[in-house]
Amino acid sequence: MKGQQSPRWLFILLLLTSAAAAQEPVPIAVNVPDSIDPNADSGWLRIEVAVLIDDRAEVVTSEAWPPYPSTQYPNSHRRLQDDQLLQQLSAQYPQAQIIAEPDGAVTLLLSDPQQLVAKAKADALAQQREALLQAQETSTGNIDLPESTDGTTPMDLDDIAGATDSTENSSPIALEMIDAPDKTANAGAEWLTPFTESPPLDANADSVSPSTNISGAVIDDLAEEQTPPPALPESFKARPIESLSEGLRQLTRSNPDRLQMSTSWLQAPEVANLPIILDNSGDDPDWPQLQGFVQIRTGDTLKIGVNFWWNTDASYLPEGFYMTSPPMAPVQRFWRDELSLLPLDGPTVAKRLATFKAIEAHISAGLPLVEFVDPTTGFFRELVPETDDTNSFSPPATWPWRHFIHVADTRTVSEGYVRYFDHPVLKVVTTWQELTWGEVYQIGAADREREDIEKAIQDAQDAVADPTAPPVGQLPPDQQSLR
């Protein structure tokens, strides 16, 4: 790599990083198991990475860059789970159900608007049938019912509702419908013992003290066994930087470098050290200028490999220069049909979202949803305008740049030290530390507390938006991984 490392630059960063690491977080009460020493090393790692850019004209023209650099993404990889991305997608696409995959991928489930309208029609028919049944039950007089097809016997409401089961073939009364006494069955009673009778006491049976249960186990011991262990934090979840934050803030004030990207994550022990892709060029309609990934290699020493490139307009190269574009990042966001789970292409997603917006406008105008469909032409054309949003759900077809500047290197990084990957344009800064069990449980408890607060806020907002709608729950476990 070209360029010289600035001793003053690193000295300031190391000093400020040490000061930030010395600040103790506000403790949270955590019940650490007696078998674990809270001050012992846990094997959990906190890793921080930041990329600074200096692409001033005098900088990029001062170097002779390789005219045809080459790079590629690894076949096996993962992403950081990003709560901010999930919140952004939830606000941008409220019609979709969003599922965060364990490897950082995101699945968006989108239903078919036709099914929504069909359900509304079915609900309307069900309400009409319910109204007829209620009229039959509450009426004290005779109801003039339409005659049957043979013109002799009046049709009853069961025929109108489409019921085909006769009285003889009806199902037996469910046991839940039988009135049962309020008393529950006594523990240890034979199942045929009537609920109203108590089982006979065995005179030879040992007395059961209040502090024990039926099997003789002590209740206090049972309660202790049922106490859940402290919550662990999520591994590979994007977090704000801590140790590097103050140092980078001071450096960007006194230097022309711009902080382009910074992130931090926790890494559980003995996890697969897959490369972590840190850009979304495979999903975003606007090709990002910074692309790349990092990889952690653990062993006797910890090594951090960085591979980043900065897309440019090639103003420092001859006019008319052209090169093949670098690859896009693998797709992170997957659109699928909510029922079939089949992939949806960009035009289909754009059409469905536009239709949902038209339906919302239709309902806001006070029109019933069942009238949204024209049986001869399908959806009303004037309610579903033509849309050019197809590109919003797929990356651009062409690379909007002409050249890229590339940095790739792997360095050994000692715990608590700052590693600076020196480069005139791309400056990568990394650091890491191993957490104690006490720190791990503190972070896990803080995450759990924050999630509970966010869930309570979201439930309150949903209740205000639609008081009759139940809170949205998670999908069944068999639908949590859909790729």
Q: How far apart are CA 451 and CA 444, in angstroms?
A: 11
What pLDDT, on a 0 to 100 scale, did the predictor assign at position 474? 39
Inter-residue contact 437 to 40 (CB < 8 Å): yes
Inter-residue contact 356 to 113 (CB < 8 Å): yes
Q: How far apart are CA 381 and CA 116, in angstroms?
A: 18
What pLDDT, on a 0 to 100 scale, did the predictor assign at position 155? 47
Inter-residue contact 313 to 399 (CB < 8 Å): no
Residues 6+ apart with CB under 8 A from 188: 199, 214
Q: Are strands 290-297 and 403-412 parallel, antiparallel or unpaired?
A: unpaired
Inter-residue contact 396 to 410 (CB < 8 Å): no
Q: How far apart are CA 317 and CA 213, in angstroms?
A: 83
Short-list 230, 190, 240, CA closest to 30: 230
State in Å, rounded, how far the first CA of the chain is from the last one: 39
The backbone region for 417, taken as left when phi is positive above 0, alpha when psi lies in -120 to 50, beta otherwise, is beta
- If one compares 136 and 218, the residue with the highest pLDDT of the two is 136
Which amino acid type is present at position 162?
G
What pLDDT, on a 0 to 100 scale, did the predictor assign at position 248? 93
What pLDDT, on a 0 to 100 scale, did the predictor assign at position 390? 59
Inter-residue contact 233 to 266 (CB < 8 Å): yes
**DSSP per-residue string spanning 118-140:** HHHHHHHHHHHHHHHHHHHHH--
Inter-residue contact 291 to 326 (CB < 8 Å): yes
Question: Which secondary-structure segment (H or E) carries 344?
Answer: none
Inter-residue contact 389 to 353 (CB < 8 Å): yes
Sequence-ordered strand ranges (E) for 6-73: 41-53
With 70 as the cut, is the pLDDT of residue 374 above it? no
With 80 as the cut, is the pLDDT of residue 383 above it? no
> DSSP code of 317?
S
408-464 per-position pLDDT tens digit: 999 999 999 999 998 999 999 999 999 999 999 999 988 888 888 878 887 887 777
Tokens of 343: 């992939």
Alpha carbons within 13 angstroms on the beta-carbon side of residue 94 total 6
Residue 33 CA to its chain's centroid (Å): 30
Average pLDDT, stretch 135-149?
Answer: 60
Residue 119: C-alpha distances to residues 15, 95, 113, 201 (Å): 64, 16, 10, 58
Residues 6+ apart with CB under 8 A from 15: 247
With 50 as the cut, is the pLDDT of residue 3 above it? no
Question: Which secondary-structure segment (H or E) carries 267?
Answer: strand 258-267
Supply the pTM of this predicted model. Answer: 0.70
Short-list 82, 49, 66, 35, CA closest to 243: 49
To the nearest 10 degrees (0 to 180), the angle between helices 245-254 and 7-22 is 140
Confidence class for position 288, pLDDT limits 50, 70, 90: very high
What pLDDT, on a 0 to 100 scale, did the predictor assign at position 372? 60
36-95 per-position pLDDT tens digit: 888 899 999 999 999 999 999 999 999 999 999 999 999 999 999 999 999 999 999 999
With 60 as the cut, is the pLDDT of residue 5 above it? no
Residues 6+ apart with CB under 8 A from 303: 296, 297, 410, 411, 412, 413
Please write down the long-range contacts of 79-85, taking CB distance under 8 Å and 24 or more positions apart.
79/103, 79/104, 79/105, 79/276, 79/277, 79/332, 80/104, 80/236, 80/237, 80/238, 80/263, 80/265, 80/276, 80/278, 81/234, 81/236, 81/237, 81/238, 82/237, 82/238, 83/237, 83/238, 84/238
Alpha carbons within 13 angstroms on the beta-carbon side of residue 419 total 20
What pLDDT, on a 0 to 100 scale, did the predictor assign at position 178? 38
Confidence class for position 397, pLDDT limits 50, 70, 90: confident
Describe the chain by its helix, strand, coil percentages, rounded to 5. 30, 20, 50
Tokens of 444: 């896990």
Tokens of 70: 């080459």
Inter-residue contact 324 to 473 (CB < 8 Å): no
- If one compares 20 and 248, the residue with the highest pLDDT of the two is 248
| Total residue count of the chain as it appears in this document | 483
